[in-house]
Chains A and B, each alone.
Chain A
Amino acid sequence: MRHLRLIGVLTAAACVFTSGAVLAQAKQEAGVERYVREPTPPGVKVFPSKLDGPVYTDESGRTLYQWPRKELRNGGTGDMKGAASICDNTKATENIGLMSPYPPGLALPDVATRQSCEQMWPPAVAAADAKPVGKWTVLKRKDGRNQWAYDGFVLYTSSMDKKPGDTIGGNNLGRSSNSPPGSPGGDAPVARVPIGPSPDVPGQFVVEQTLVGRQLILSTLFSVYTWDGDRPNKSNCDEACLKSWQPVLAPQIGAATREEWSVIERSPGVKQWAYRGRPLYTYVGDPSPGYQHGVDVPGWNLVFTQLAPSAPAEFTQQVSAAGIVLADSKGKTLYIYNCGDDAADQLACDHPDTPQEYRYAVCGGGSQAKCLTTFPYVLAQAGAKSNEAWTVKAIDPATGKSAAPGQADALQVWAYRDRPVFTFVRDERPGMIKAQNWGEFYGQRNGYKAFFLREEFQGR
């Protein structure tokens, strides 16, 4: 994750460029990511998700997901490209030892109530006479039904998604920061990821999903910047400026015309990319991919195709030893909890409606009561406003599960992607991140990661 966050009101219009020196002043405006249009089956549409960018939905508006196979410590699971789904109506009862050092054959904590993979992830069923189109193909399930596949991987919807375009079921939160964009981290569960069309950006660029928004970076993973001193499609970066800032050069020929993209000629024969009219640069002070040192220089901004929805107004940003984190109103760092079990279907355990025993182990030594003091929820103020990312969720304090409707002692807590966020009791001062990577496998599989808006040190 490589994050710099603007907390502020986002309005619907054009440009999204952020300045690290002016974190609390959202002068930028939200854009909508453009995408490459491609043929789709009847009924499939593109939904402009504010969390995940453009995603494909089925005829009912349900987001479509893939579950690509990934190798774990002792073998892999997930769907193989071009192969039938392995997510069926079997209800797992034991772990299968894909992780380490614990052996297979241990009884899962939710055997009595556990749902099958297919119940949690209903297949995107295709009609008996469905025809392939473009990247879309049809594969036969073991039960004889047809299932849509995209780019060779069969597709699902999520039982957790409630509204059209929801992407609550997917979980990229635990991915390692140096994983390729969109892929889960090395020891994270084999994740389900929403699918969407490719961003419409030149080949020199990629769009990376971050907690701040969808960031435009070079395909080499170096950050790109814009400068407030430039004018629309005009670079004012002079000889002195160029010693610190390198224009992102465009090809001499064949720079395809794309919406929101232009090529400016700095001098005869020297062409530079501009995005939404703003010339693009890299910073010579970024030592390697992933760094964002340039944003500390006044007037220079990172570039996003679209920003994530705003964090609650009472939240703050704090400088930690590893970057900038999102914090509660008192400055305590926020943490996201990640969890996936070790069964063949790798079902999530990171949500209040999933087993809480995993979380209890790492937040309170097995005790929910201790969890409430060690990793307390972030309570929402009365009248708090929700958006697509941040919602107020009612939690039963005795069980950690979603509260019953009208439950009198329910805690009203802040949730990100429908999952509560937490603080850590040992973070005694603003900017402390003592629970970063707390839990099994660096907080990727059963544990906590700080809500980084800008993470400086990622092992890159």
Chain B
Amino acid sequence: MTLQAKRLIGLALAGTCLSAPVLAASGGTSPVPDRRIGYVMTSEYKAIWDSPDGKLECPQGINNGPREEFKILFPDDKKFTILESQLARESEVWFPKLTPQEKLPYYDSVAKTAFGVDLNDKVDANDYTDPDGNKGIDNQTQRAWGCTANYRSTSYNLGAFNNWRKYSYNIIVIELTEVDDLINDPEIVLTTYRGMDRPMTDATGATYLPGGTQRVDMRFGRQFVQKFKGKIVDGVLTTDGADYVMPSAGNGSSVADVRYYGTRWRLNLTPDRANGIMGGYMNIEDWNSAANQGRSTHHQAYGQAATPSIYRALHRNADYADPKTGEMIAISTAFKVGLTQVFVEHPSSEVAANVSGAPATASASRE
């Protein structure tokens, strides 16, 4: 018996309820016969617009990374101590400063185009127009990240960001409920969860297949549950904004999560796939932690990403203020996301009750 088969048997015994039968399984009448359908995220890329040679948006070239900056500060022809060099740099990594560093220039992208969504229903002076002509696009990370190799489309790290099958901590499942029609529906609800199962692929492992199963993690993953109100127009789902904690995994079993305020989704829906954009205002401190906990300075150097310099650029371009303090704490950003249809299994109340120690906080708890 295969592991997959064993797992399915175990799940059935565990008292679960299935949702989101696909078209074939439902007798061919509707992709959402019980008014719900689930998808698992199978690709996620930082949504940065760039030209083939970078000259258009980065006329001053690509930014320096950790190795290049270290050489500027500590040239080879002098002797240094670990304390004044390596440890001083690592201090900056973990406790970055906003003071500009004259010796370490960092250039923003000057592109006029960016991917993303309109997060505030306004067309501001710094907003972008996306390649489809949509105005009011909020994605200031286009400026902060656009000339850093790590975040560009030719990046080594681009593949690493999308390494969903390697990790099990960051399996993101969305479930659409109250859906009457996948083409046009004025009111639906999108709920995010963390899934517990590796997304299903074909025999090559290269293509994700619809029809898989995802168990919802209500044992350890409650903080990743969030509801978004939305609508579907001509097959495109858009949602209102809501705060969202995205599970973020990286190297070394790192599990640093990132808060996105006012998150919105825009997805082209089919019964098998959902592709589009997830945008939100990214908490900059969370980003710094996740970036460095998920990729060491050594690994950041692969993509010439000097996180202390990037941190300053993110703050310089920040466009979201803490409602309580007025302090600029976040920056608009966007991801290109691809999702594949799955059956979503929710734990039965009996199983949930048997799990001790589960947090009592509601799904919208925030870090």
Q: Give the interface of A toward B (CB within 8 A).
A: 20-23, 73, 95, 99-103, 105-109, 176-178, 185, 187, 240, 243-244, 246, 283-285, 287-288, 296-298, 317-324, 342, 357-358, 360-362, 364-366, 370, 428-429, 431-434, 436-444, 446, 455-460
B66 within 8 A of A: yes
Residues of A within 8 A of B356 (CB): 20-23
6 A–B contacts, CB within 8 A, in A order: A103-B76, A106-B85, A187-B296, A287-B7, A361-B87, A366-B88
The answer to whether B90 and A106 have CB atoms under 8 Å apart is no
The answer to whether B293 and A366 have CB atoms under 8 Å apart is no
Complex Cα spacing A429 to B365, Å: 11
Which residues 40-98 of B have a CB within 8 angstroms of A? 66-67, 70, 76, 79-83, 85-92, 94-95
Give the interface centre of A22, A317, A443 by most chain B CB atoms within 10 Å: A443
Complex Cα spacing A434 to B83, Å: 26
Give the interface centre of A108, A297, A370, A442 by most chain B CB atoms within 10 Å: A442
Complex Cα spacing A102 to B367, Å: 34
Measured CB to CB, the nearest residue on chain B to A324 is: B357
B28 within 8 A of A: no
Task: Pick the contact of B166: A244, A438, A459 (CB < 8 A).
Answer: A459
Given contacts A358-B87, A431-B359, contact A73 B223 (CB under 8 A): no
Given contacts A437-B293, A459-B166, contact A446 B253 (CB under 8 A): no
Complex Cα spacing A432 to B95, Å: 20
The answer to whether A285 and B354 have CB atoms under 8 Å apart is no
Task: Pick the contact of A366: B87, B255, B256, B294 (CB < 8 A).
Answer: B87
Given contacts A106-B86, A437-B256, contact A321 B220 (CB under 8 A): yes
The answer to whether B301 and A284 have CB atoms under 8 Å apart is no
Task: Pick the contact of B354: A99, A107, A297, A444 (CB < 8 A).
Answer: A297
The answer to whether A319 and B358 have CB atoms under 8 Å apart is yes
Given contacts A21-B356, A296-B355, A441-B296, contact A436 B79 (CB under 8 A): no
Task: Pick the contact of A440: B168, B251, B297 (CB < 8 A).
Answer: B297
The answer to whether B67 and A101 have CB atoms under 8 Å apart is yes
Task: Pick the contact of A321: B7, B257, B298 (CB < 8 A).
Answer: B257
Complex Cα spacing A105 to B166, Å: 37
Complex Cα spacing A23 to B358, Å: 12
The answer to whether A365 and B91 have CB atoms under 8 Å apart is yes
Give the interface centre of A106, A324, A441 by most chain B CB atoms within 10 Å: A106
Distance from B252 Cβ to chain A, minimum over Cβ atoms (Å): 3
B226 within 8 A of A: no
Complex Cα spacing A459 to B357, Å: 24
Distance from A369 Cβ to chain B, minimum over Cβ atoms (Å): 13
The answer to whether A459 and B85 have CB atoms under 8 Å apart is no
Task: Pick the contact of B91: A177, A362, A431 (CB < 8 A).
Answer: A362
Complex Cα spacing A255 to B251, Å: 41
The answer to whether A95 and B220 have CB atoms under 8 Å apart is no
Distance from A41 Cβ to chain B, minimum over Cβ atoms (Å): 39
Residues of A within 8 A of B10 (CB): 243-244, 283-285
Measured CB to CB, the nearest residue on chain A to B251 is: A442
Number of A-B contacts (CB under 8 A): 181
Which residues 3-34 of B have a CB within 8 angstroms of A? 3, 6-7, 9-11, 13-14
Complex Cα spacing A178 to B350, Å: 33
Residues of A within 8 A of B11 (CB): 285
Task: Pick the contact of B7: A284, A438, A444 (CB < 8 A).
Answer: A284
Residues of B within 8 A of A370 (CB): 95
Count B interface residues, CB 8 Å.
62
Q: Give the interface of B toward A (CB within 8 A).
A: 3, 6-7, 9-11, 13-14, 66-67, 70, 76, 79-83, 85-92, 94-95, 166-169, 196-198, 219-221, 223-224, 247, 249, 251-257, 289, 293-294, 296-298, 301, 354-359, 367
Distance from A420 Cβ to chain B, minimum over Cβ atoms (Å): 19
The answer to whether B367 and A432 have CB atoms under 8 Å apart is yes
The answer to whether B255 and A322 have CB atoms under 8 Å apart is yes
The answer to whether B251 and A436 have CB atoms under 8 Å apart is no
The answer to whether A107 and B91 have CB atoms under 8 Å apart is no
Complex Cα spacing A283 to B3, Å: 11
The answer to whether A439 and B94 have CB atoms under 8 Å apart is yes
Distance from A357 Cβ to chain B, minimum over Cβ atoms (Å): 5
Give the interface centre of B7, B255, B356 by most chain A CB atoms within 10 Å: B255
Distance from B140 Cβ to chain A, minimum over Cβ atoms (Å): 24
Task: Pick the contact of A443: B76, B87, B224, B252 (CB < 8 A).
Answer: B252
Complex Cα spacing A445 to B237, Å: 46
Residues of A within 8 A of B301 (CB): 100-101
Complex Cα spacing A20 to B255, Å: 22
Task: Pick the contact of B6: A20, A246, A320, A440 (CB < 8 A).
Answer: A246
Distance from A277 Cβ to chain B, minimum over Cβ atoms (Å): 26
The answer to whether B83 and A101 have CB atoms under 8 Å apart is no
Distance from A455 Cβ to chain B, minimum over Cβ atoms (Å): 7
The answer to whether A321 and B247 have CB atoms under 8 Å apart is yes
Residues of B within 8 A of A455 (CB): 253
Residues of B within 8 A of A100 (CB): 298, 301
Measured CB to CB, the nearest residue on chain B to A430 is: B359
The answer to whether A442 and B81 have CB atoms under 8 Å apart is no
Residues of A within 8 A of B167 (CB): 457, 459
Distance from B150 Cβ to chain A, minimum over Cβ atoms (Å): 14
The answer to whether A456 and B82 have CB atoms under 8 Å apart is no
Residues of B within 8 A of A298 (CB): 354
The answer to whether A287 and B87 have CB atoms under 8 Å apart is no
Residues of A within 8 A of B357 (CB): 23, 317-319, 324
The answer to whether B220 and A323 have CB atoms under 8 Å apart is yes
Distance from B310 Cβ to chain A, minimum over Cβ atoms (Å): 16
Supply 13 further A-B pairs (C-beta < 8 A) apart from A106-B80, A176-B253.
A103-B70, A107-B79, A107-B82, A187-B298, A240-B13, A243-B13, A317-B357, A319-B358, A322-B220, A370-B95, A433-B255, A437-B253, A441-B252
Task: Pick the contact of B256: A20, A297, A436 (CB < 8 A).
Answer: A436
Residues of B within 8 A of A440 (CB): 90, 296-297
Measured CB to CB, the nearest residue on chain A to B3 is: A287
Residues of B within 8 A of A456 (CB): 169, 220
Measured CB to CB, the nearest residue on chain A to B354 is: A298
Complex Cα spacing A460 to B198, Å: 11
The answer to whether A357 and B87 have CB atoms under 8 Å apart is yes
Complex Cα spacing A370 to B88, Å: 15
Complex Cα spacing A177 to B228, Å: 36
Distance from A95 Cβ to chain B, minimum over Cβ atoms (Å): 6
Distance from A203 Cβ to chain B, minimum over Cβ atoms (Å): 22
Residues of A within 8 A of B88 (CB): 361, 366
Complex Cα spacing A442 to B94, Å: 12
Task: Pick the contact of B81: A109, A360, A437 (CB < 8 A).
Answer: A109
The answer to whether B224 and A321 have CB atoms under 8 Å apart is yes
Complex Cα spacing A456 to B196, Å: 10
Please list the 7 inter-chain residue pairs (A to B) with the smallest Cβ-Cβ separation, ordered nearest first.
Answer: A442-B252, A365-B95, A457-B169, A284-B10, A284-B6, A361-B87, A285-B10
The answer to whether A442 and B91 have CB atoms under 8 Å apart is no
Residues of A within 8 A of B91 (CB): 361-362, 365-366
Distance from A350 Cβ to chain B, minimum over Cβ atoms (Å): 15
Give the interface centre of B11, B79, B197, B296 by most chain A CB atoms within 10 Å: B296
Residues of B within 8 A of A458 (CB): 253
Residues of A within 8 A of B70 (CB): 101-103
Distance from A434 Cβ to chain B, minimum over Cβ atoms (Å): 6
The answer to whether A442 and B90 have CB atoms under 8 Å apart is no
Residues of A within 8 A of B85 (CB): 102, 106
The answer to whether B367 and A428 have CB atoms under 8 Å apart is yes
Measured CB to CB, the nearest residue on chain B to A241 is: B13
